[in-house]
Chains A and B, each alone.
Chain A
Amino acid sequence: MGTDIVISGANNPRNNFGLSYFTSSNKLDVKEPIFNFNVNPTITSLGEEQSWMSAFGHPEVFIPPANANTKLTSAIYDVTNLTFKSEQKPIIRLPQNVVAQKNPINVIDANAVPIQIWEGCVQSVNIEEGTMKASLNAKIGVIPEHIGTIDLQWVPDQDVDLVKPGAVFYLTLFKRVKRGGTIENSQAIQFRRRPNWSKNQLDKINERADKFLSKIKSKPIAD
């Protein structure tokens, strides 16, 4: 028997959730919790108004809003539906034999072995389909450049505003050895941020720009 945990999608002001914390699929099978959060068996249920993840110190992470007709205890939950707001407080049944863990699973630690790091560059973003097309260059081994389509749901919340053509990100695929020796696959996407130009850099840019312009000449124009 699992532990009943009450969650409240309606309490989430953004109806948003941290997809970067999911491990392998955008279909969340609530029977097989693939969250990075394992549940402390001492917790049996949460208060009505308390969101599930916030109970574990991750107020920024929320369970997706529920479809009123969905029985979450047995259904595959479609987390691609970002718009639906549920008033229902669904119940997720989780196994008892798991241990609480606060760190998100995509944090690379001593137990995580990177198997490939792809440096990606966003080529185009399809808002309607919720995908981005990206070029992918392997950082490990000699692999030619590839192109692929990545669902935007894999992009961490904090990086969503960076998803634009030309943006550079790193897609790290790694294996994690779990307690007990089980190996699981995981991945993380992180977009590259950069500091703003410093005054010194701006001065040098202006110098280079002046030099650039001074070298451009014109040829005659045809009749």
Chain B
Amino acid sequence: MNYGQPPADNEIELTVFGPGHGEAIVVHLGEGNWLLVDSCIDPNNNIPASANYLDQLGVTPNKVKAIVASHWHDDHVRGIAYLANKYSEADFFLSAALNNDEAAAFVAAYSGIDAPGLARGTSELHSVVDQRMHVYDALHKTIVHELSANQLNVRVIAWSPTSSAFAQSIANFAQYLPNKPGQVPITHAPEPKQNIEAVVIHINFGEEDAILLGSDLENRKIGWGELVSNVWCQAQKKASIYKVAHHGSQNGDNEEIWTTFLQKEKIACITPFNRSGLPTPSDKERIKLRATQAYISSGASRKADMSRDQIKRLGDICSDVELADSGFGAVRLRKKIGSQIWNTELFGNAQAI
């Protein structure tokens, strides 16, 4: 995949990658400075999509200023340890929900060292923290990065998790803590449920524009429900681009996100999560109605890819067999400072909705 030329210093950019299982985001903050959020693997070369992209554009590692792991689910952190190592000068952020005894024990238990079969994204995060001198936690209003570029004060701020989500997540982690010998063993990997600890990122380009990255935050009382009623969030600059939360699902959506946090003209970017069939056709319709333009990073056919004999045999006991991934793709949006128009480019299997 040829990504062409890097953005000009006075261009801001959001690129969203996704193969159908996982997502990665890169943001050009201006004047060659970059932010990375989450990570997925590019199946064309098996290296993290963000790293491959920045390498192609000729970005030197020291220009990556911050990396955010929005939450621990494996579809958001595959390859993020590679990023943390490659961009060693960048500050690394993880959800503040992981900064407590229960969460630390949770990550340590599911680090893949003792029970490889039960490890998920936790092993990537454990590896990141293990290799670094320190990492930072991202909580409501944490300043992830701040710089002056193109005469704009650019601020990257975490909107979540909130304090209440932090408290609730402790209980979620606690139920997966290792049992003592003699007690009932935990036989399954932690279930990625109740996504209230995900880090939502707001990027404010001063008077110019803003981008909102919804991560996988769900619309619960704790979650989007809390953010849309938060006075501080309401006062932030409205975004013209929204990376739709939780793969476009109904339970990651809240109408007030679109009316309170986004401009009238807005572009929506979605990454699919095919394991759960997200976004559904009705999700796409809903998002189309709410956004001026909408794009999905990956939308190719998911017809089963194996021999006819294999399909027939598997079909004896397994129905609706389809590919987990729907083809790798990327949606790139670039805008020159001072312009009102975002230029959209689609790569690979990315599509307009």
Proximity string of chain B (297-331) to chain A, C-beta cutoff 8 Å, 1 when within and 0 when not: 00000001110011001101111111111000000
- Shortest CB distance A183–B (Å): 12
**Contact between A151 and B188 (Cβ–Cβ < 8 Å)?**
no
Q: Assess whether B104 is interfacial by the CB under 8 Å rule.
A: yes
- Taking a contact as CB atoms under 8 Å apart, the answer to whether B314 and A118 are in contact is yes
Q: Are A216 and B190 in contact (CB under 8 A)?
A: no
Q: CB distance A205 to B144 under 8 Å?
A: no
If A135-B275, A212-B104 touch, whether A196 touches B143 (CB-CB below 8 Å) is no
Residue pair B104, A221 in contact (C-beta under 8 Å): no
Given contacts A198-B181, A215-B129, A215-B134, contact A187 B321 (CB under 8 A): no
**Interface membership of B141, Cβ < 8 A:** yes
Inter-chain contacts of A210 with B (CB < 8 A): 104
- Tell me the bound Cα distance from A211 to B182 in angstroms: 27
B105 touches A168 (CB 8 A): no
Q: Which residues of B contact A149 (CB under 8 A)?
A: 318-320
Which among B104, B179, B309, B321 has the highest number of chain A CB atoms within 10 Å? B104
**Which B residues form the contact surface with A (CB < 8 A)?**
21, 91, 93-94, 96, 98-101, 104-105, 107-109, 111, 113-115, 117-118, 120, 126, 129-130, 132-137, 139, 141-144, 155, 157, 178-185, 187-193, 274-276, 304-306, 309-310, 313-314, 316-325
B313–A212 touching, CB < 8 Å: no
Determine the distance from Cα of A121 to Cα of B192 in the docked complex, in whole angstroms: 13
**Considering the complex, which residues of chain A in the window 97-155 have a beta carbon less than 8 Å from any beta carbon of chain B?**
115-116, 118, 121-124, 133, 135-136, 138, 143-151, 154
Distance between Cα atoms of A185 and B93 in the complex (Å)? 51
Interface window among A45-53, A62-70, A75-83, A158-166: A158-166
Contact with B along A200-219 (1 / 0, CB 8 A): 01101111111111011111
Contact between B189 and A202 (Cβ–Cβ < 8 Å)?
no
| Main SS class of interface, A | mixed
A196, B126: Cα distance in complex, Å: 21
A202–B181 Cα distance when bound, in Å, is: 9
Residues from chain A with a CB closer than 8 A to the CB of B109 are 197, 205, 209
Interface residue tally for chain A (C-beta within 8 Å): 62
Tell whether A191 is near chain B: CB-to-CB under 8 Å. Answer: yes
Decide: B306 and A148 in contact? CB cutoff 8 A: no
Q: Which residues of A contact B319 (CB under 8 A)?
A: 148-151
A42 to chain B, nearest CB (A): 33
Report the minimal beta-carbon distance from B353 to chain A, rounded to whole angstroms: 21
Query: Within 8 Å CB of A25, what residues of B?
Result: 316
How far is it, in angstroms, between the C-alpha of A139 and the C-alpha of B341 when the chains are bound?
A: 48
Q: Are B114 and A162 in contact (CB under 8 A)?
A: no
A211 vs B111: C-alpha distance when bound (angstroms): 13
Q: Is the CB of B313 within 8 A of A195?
A: no
Tell me whether A222 and B155 are in contact (CB under 8 A).
yes
Closest residue on chain B to residue A154 by CB atoms: B317
Q: Which of A147, A165, A197, A217 contacts B188 (CB 8 A)?
A: A165
CB of B163 to closest CB in A, whole Å: 12
Excluding A212-B129, A215-B129, A218-B96, 9 further A-B contacts by CB distance (< 8 Å) are: A144-B325, A149-B318, A166-B189, A187-B317, A195-B185, A196-B178, A196-B185, A197-B114, A197-B115
Say yes or no: A146-B135 contact (C-beta < 8 A), given A168-B189, A212-B126, A216-B98.
Answer: no
Contact B187 A192 (CB under 8 A): yes
Complex alpha-carbon distance, A219 and B318, angstroms: 49
Kindly identify which residue among B91, B101, B115, B179 contacts A209, using a CB–CB cutoff of 8 Å. B101
Query: What distance in Å separates the Cβ of B139 from its nearest Cβ neighbour in chain A?
Result: 7
Task: Choose among B188, B305, B317 the residue that contacts A150 (Cβ–Cβ < 8 A).
Answer: B317
The answer on a CB contact under 8 Å between A191 and B104 is: no
> Are B276's CB and A146's CB within 8 A?
no
Chain A nearest CB from B158 CB (Å) reads 9
Q: Which residue in A143, A162, A185, A195 is a CB contact (below 8 Å) of B316?
A: A185
Please give, as numbers and ranges, the residues of chain B lying within 8 Å of A121 by CB-CB distance.
189
Chain A, residue nearest B311 (CB): A146
| Distance of A50 Cα from B33 Cα, bound (Å) | 78
For A173, the closest partner residue in chain B by CB is: B313
* Contact between chains at B129 and A150 (CB < 8 Å): no
Q: Which residues of A contact B114 (CB under 8 A)?
A: 197, 201, 204-205
The reply to whether B324 and A164 contact each other, CB–CB distance below 8 Å, is: no
**A168–B135 CA distance with the chains assembled, in angstroms:** 32
Residues in B with CB closer than 8 Å to A218 are 96, 136-137, 139, 142
Shortest distance from the beta carbon of B156 to any chain A beta carbon, whole Å: 10
- CB of B268 to closest CB in A, whole Å: 25
Query: Which residues of B sit under 8 angstroms from A187, Cβ to Cβ?
Result: 313, 316-317
Q: Are A122 and B320 in contact (CB under 8 A)?
A: no
List the B side residues contacting A220 at CB < 8 Å.
Answer: 142-143
